[in-house]
């Protein structure tokens, strides 16, 4: 549960920056996650104190939303759309392929820490399904081959394992 000073400071700074905003909690959590990649458990009391909420309330919000992570994730997040339009174009097969190719299930990170695989329910790209989101980029008409190509481009960009 320990948190280093170097992690605590940015959280306290962000709390200070956001606390006057009406309905500050979601924007604050997004900001913390943007900074650290996840919302550590040890951030909860700092947020609670700053926003005058109970720790239970803060925890309740973090756990309600799919976006918020409580553990470090991979350097890249790969999301596969599971919604109906993508299903009609073979996303069930794509999901199976992705899990097999990366050797992880949804919510897990590859052993080298490069990629976290997640489901997503609609990226609004439904006329050109199946859709995949990698970080902030969305890709259309992704079949198994295209998926493998995108993943290999990711690892070459990153120069492999850090």
Partner 1 sequence: MIFYIPQDTTALALGSEAVAWALQTAGIEPIRNGSRGLFWLEPLLEVDTDQGRIAFGPVSAKDIPSVLDALESDPTSHALYQGEVADIPYLKSQQRLTYARAGVGDPVCLDNYQNLNGFKGLANALQMTGQQIVDQVKDSGLRGRGGAAFPAGIKWQTVHDAGESAAADKEPGQKYIVCNADEGDSGTFADRLVMEADPYQLIEGMIIAGLAVGANQGYIYLRSEYPVAHKLLNTAIDGALQANFLGENIQGSGKTFHLEVRLGAGAYICGEETSLLESLEGKRGMVRAKPPLPAIEGLFGMPTVVNNVLTLAAISSILEQGAESYQNFGMGRSRGTLAIQLAGNIKRGGLIELAFGVTLREVVEDYGQGTYSGRPIRAIQVGGPLGAFIPESQWDTPMDYEAFAAIKAMIGHGGIVVFDDTVDMAAQARFAMEFCVVESCGKCTPCRIGSVRGVEVIDRIVANENRDNNLILLHELCDTMEFGSLCAMGGMTPYPVRSALKYFPQDFSLRDAAGAAQGES
Q: Which residues bind partner 1 (CB under 8 A)?
A: 22-27, 29-30, 51, 57, 60-61, 64-68, 83-89, 92, 120-129, 131, 133, 136-141
> Which is closer to partner 1, CB of 4 or CB of 39?
39
> Which is closer to partner 1, CB of 61 or CB of 114?
61
DSSP string over 39-99: --TTHHHHHHHHHT--HHHHHHHHHHSTT--SS---SEEEEEE-SHHHHTTTHHHHHHHHH
What's the closest the beta carbon of residue 6 comes to partner 1, in angstroms? 26
What's the closest the beta carbon of residue 65 comes to partner 1, in angstroms? 4
What's the closest the beta carbon of residue 43 comes to partner 1, in angstroms? 15
Q: Nearest 5°: phi and psi at 81? A: -75, 130
> Which is closer to partner 1, CB of 45 or CB of 65?
65
Exposed, middle or buried: residue 44 (CB in 10 Å: 0-12, 13-18, 19+)? buried
What's the closest the beta carbon of residue 154 comes to partner 1, in angstroms? 16
What are the structure tokens assigned to 77, written together? 């997040």
> Which is closer to partner 1, CB of 25 or CB of 98?
25
What's the closest the beta carbon of residue 2 comes to partner 1, in angstroms? 27
Q: Which helix (H) or strand (E) holds 122?
A: none
> Which is closer to partner 1, CB of 21 or CB of 162?
21
**CA 11 – CA 20 distance, rounded (Å):** 15
CA separation, residue 56 to residues 20, 36, 70, 136, 138 (Å): 21, 22, 15, 31, 35
């Amino acid at each position: 549960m320990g948190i280093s000073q170097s992690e605590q400071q940015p959280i306290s700074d962000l709390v200070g920056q956001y606390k006057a905003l009406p309905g500050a909690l979601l924007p604050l959590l997004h900001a913390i996650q943007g900074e650290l990649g996840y919302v550590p458990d040890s951030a909860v009391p700092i947020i609670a104190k700053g926003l005058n909420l109970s720790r239970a309330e803060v925890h309740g919000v973090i756990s309600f939303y799919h976006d918020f992570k409580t553990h470090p994730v991979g350097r890249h997040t790969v999301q596969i759309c599971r919604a109906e339009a993508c299903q009609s174009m073979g996303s069930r097969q794509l999901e199976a392929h992705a899990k097999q190719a990366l050797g992880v299930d949804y919510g897990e990170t590859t052993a080298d820490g490069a990629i976290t695989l997640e489901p997503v329910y609609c990226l609004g790209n439904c006329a050109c399904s199946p859709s995949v989101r990698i970080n902030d980029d969305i890709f259309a008409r992704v079949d198994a081959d295209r998926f493998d190509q995108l993943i290999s481009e990711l690892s070459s960009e990153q120069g492999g394992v850090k």
